[in-house]
A and B are shown apart, each in its own frame.
Chain A
Amino acid sequence: MADRTVSRKTVLKTAAAATAGFGIPAFLPRIGEAAADLPIGLVEPTTGIYATYGEYERAGIAMAVADWNARGGVMGRKVVTFSEDDENDPGVGVQKARKLVQQDHCVALIGTINSGISLSVSGAANSLGVMFMDSGGHTDDVTGKNCNWNTFRVCHSTWMETHATGYDLAQRFGKKWYIITPDYAFGHSLYDGYVDVAKQIGVDIIANDLVPLTLTDFSPYLTKVQSAKPSLLIVLNQGDQFVNALKQAAAFGIQKTIPIGGPQVELEAVEALPPEARVGFWGVEWYYDSPLSVGAAGSAGRRFVAAYKKKYNKTPSARSAFGYIAMDRVLWSMAEAKSTDAVKTCKALENARFNSIFEGTSYFRKEDHQMMWPMLIGEIQPNGTASDKDNLFKIIGAQPADKVEQTIAEKAKVCTITYPS
């Protein structure tokens, strides 16, 4: 019998490869589209912990593409998309952004979920000279110290999320907070936002535990929370980590004695939780069943929800809305500028008022390219409503964007938009 021994080195190499390897996507070179088509590149995760969110964003993007193509496309050109998996890795995100622009000739990029990737793709898009519409990476830096002329953001900044929720949470649950923070750009940015709120209203942040992004088991952290007895536990983690943290918090019985909340919750994550773990007051960015978010019957938001449910047979999430708005605005800017030139399209977007699939009017602020739209606060309904089991949030308030985002003067200290000459 041939030798079947496994060297220890092989095991170690395997273990190392496993970490990187589980996100490896199928990389298939594509044949370029016809010249008449208008190719837009999507950098979204299709594997890894944020794959679900990527799927919902792409679903929203597809709705916008279908709408524009049904109206004859943009400048008579049919809109087509090229999608690449960012593998939840900033470096891969850059590679894929370059591939989309240089190989697939995409004239604009849309994505991502992970804030770190939004930052890296923003930088890559800047060097490539194309517009990047950050649909779902929330860290302040995207429209803060790392802002640039070609990057715009649809989702709310972490500053908006924390300042929309922080005061309300303190009022409801007191001022002794324990924060669990994912250890990357998004988490740090959220934490900074809450520190600012805490300074203003005298909240005592008794602990801020950094959680590695690869961690699955939160029990050691929750053991600490149990001992610390805060008046509020704030969980900043998202995706699978949010699910694991909330589920284990329920197992520890924490929600019975310590209120839980935070700046952001995603419908996808709450759906993945069993009812006993669906608790808390959270920031919500868009919600399919609230007049505060999608307006009254017959509104564009309600029509989007109906069309989305018909097309995908499921409920749209905030990610779906981000995707729709991001693609819609990119295409609108090209139609408005009558060009795909990045400088012209970016300038067309600045301060241009628009209505979309949410209540009210919005715009991308000229000074930092942040989309200014209301931030919602919601309480989780563990079992939905009698008529709709997916209706997991009760939206209890909306905060106008200009009340929760940093002022133009504050942003000017860290962000200056300068176009290439």
Chain B
Amino acid sequence: MLEQLAPQIVNGLMLGAFYASVAIGLSLIMNLTGVINMAHGSFLTLGGYFSFAMVAAGAPFWVALIAAPILTALVGLALERGLMRPLYGRDPLYSLLLTFGLSLIAEEVYRLIWGSNGVPVSAPAALQGGISLGTFQVPTIQVFTAAILVVAMSALWLFLNRTRYGLRLRAAVQDTEMIAALGTNTQTLYMVNFGLGVLLAGLAGVLAASQLGLNPTSGNALLMPAFVTVIVGGMGSLLGALAGGLLIGMTISMMTLFFPAASDVSMYVIMAVILLIRPRGLFGEEGLFG
């Protein structure tokens, strides 16, 4: 059993990084606009499908890795402008129901375009195989996903903390009315924020499609771990998304080692415990979301 600990710890970290990559976009959107984006999984799927279509058309994976999230973000922006915008400022249930409806529509649209069966997606040759860590191997695609997460989080942190626009976004989270009174167009801020969140969903979708199956509902299957990650880490916190993801990944990995049947439910137990002892999550700011 002990010799299995090291591989499971490493796997837990990789799994956690994967969950965090899925959760960041969700957290970002929730943070500023208060939108509980039930279509986040659908944007993930769309990112995967865009990537699949590009690679099938002859584009290199590396091009798809960049272009697919951008295309996904463009779709997200169009939806934000056309459908989400009128709902800002209303009860969050409106946007929740809207995004839930969108996810159902998206599932059917994907089914019409790409068929109900899954499509075969390969990781590029450079990311196939594994990296040897002595007695065990870690899949290269997992390590790559973790590396992309680090890059994405660093870029996001720099954007939010070192650019004027990012500072405005953060200020808007604190007090939207004040920043609007100071002359900032908050509608544009919302749009950029939503687009960023969807961009990250698209990126996670490309990475997920390289590791797991891709079908019309595959992104939705990752939505629950993403929600749990956000709640555990603390709503609206980038560091929280990372910490939540790692905690959930590590818990599932360890539980698989000792009690596999409870591996999936263990994340909900963690969530319940966190909510009992620290209701705002590990790194959530008190009062931010009531």
Contact = CB atoms under 8 A, between A and B. Distances in A.
Interface residues of A, number: 56
Contact of B122 (A55, A219, A244, A274): A274
A407 interface: no
A273 B103 CA distance: 24
A12 B92 CA distance: 13
Which of B103, B120, B214, B290 neighbours the largest number of chain A CB atoms within 10 Å of its CB?
A: B120
B261 interface: yes
Contacts of A271: 117-118, 120
Interface in A49-82: 49, 51-52, 55
B139 A251 contact: yes
A251 B257 contact: no
Contacts of B107: 47
A24 to B, nearest CB: 8
Interface in B275-290: 275, 279-280, 289-290
Contacts of A221: 256, 260
Contact of B116 (A4, A52, A248): A52
Interface stretch (B33-41, B62-70, B156-164, B199-207): B33-41
Contacts of A214: 221, 224, 264
Nearest to A5: B290
Contact of B92 (A6, A18, A49, A274): A6
B88 to A, nearest CB: 7
A400 interface: no
Contacts of A273: 118, 120, 213
A218 to B, nearest CB: 9
A48 B228 contact: no
Contacts of A253: 129-130, 137, 139
B231 A220 contact: no
Most buried by A among B137, B141, B275: B137
Contact of A223 (B38, B136, B255): B136
B16 to A, nearest CB: 11
Contacts of B121: 274
A122 B16 CA distance: 41
B185 interface: no
Q: Is the interface of B mostly helix, strand, loop or mixed?
A: helix
A251 B208 CA distance: 13
Interface in A207-256: 209-212, 214-217, 219-221, 223-224, 226-227, 240, 243-244, 247-248, 250-253
Interface in B89-129: 89-90, 92-93, 96, 100, 103-104, 107, 116-123, 128-129
Interface string B1-35: 00110011001101100100000000000100110
A12 to B, nearest CB: 7
Interface of A: 1-2, 4-8, 10-12, 14-15, 18-19, 21-22, 24, 47-49, 51-52, 55, 183, 209-212, 214-217, 219-221, 223-224, 226-227, 240, 243-244, 247-248, 250-253, 268-269, 271-276
Interface of B: 3-4, 7-8, 11-12, 14-15, 18, 30, 33-34, 36, 38, 88-90, 92-93, 96, 100, 103-104, 107, 116-123, 128-130, 135-137, 139-142, 176-177, 180, 211-218, 220-225, 227-228, 230-231, 235, 252-253, 255-257, 260-261, 263-265, 275, 279-280, 289-290
Shortest 3 CB-CB distances between A and B: which pairs? A272-B118, A220-B256, A243-B213
27 contacts: A1-B180, A6-B34, A6-B36, A7-B290, A8-B275, A12-B231, A14-B96, A22-B220, A51-B217, A212-B265, A215-B263, A216-B218, A216-B222, A220-B12, A221-B256, A227-B136, A240-B213, A243-B212, A243-B213, A247-B211, A251-B123, A251-B139, A271-B120, A272-B214, A273-B118, A273-B213, A274-B121
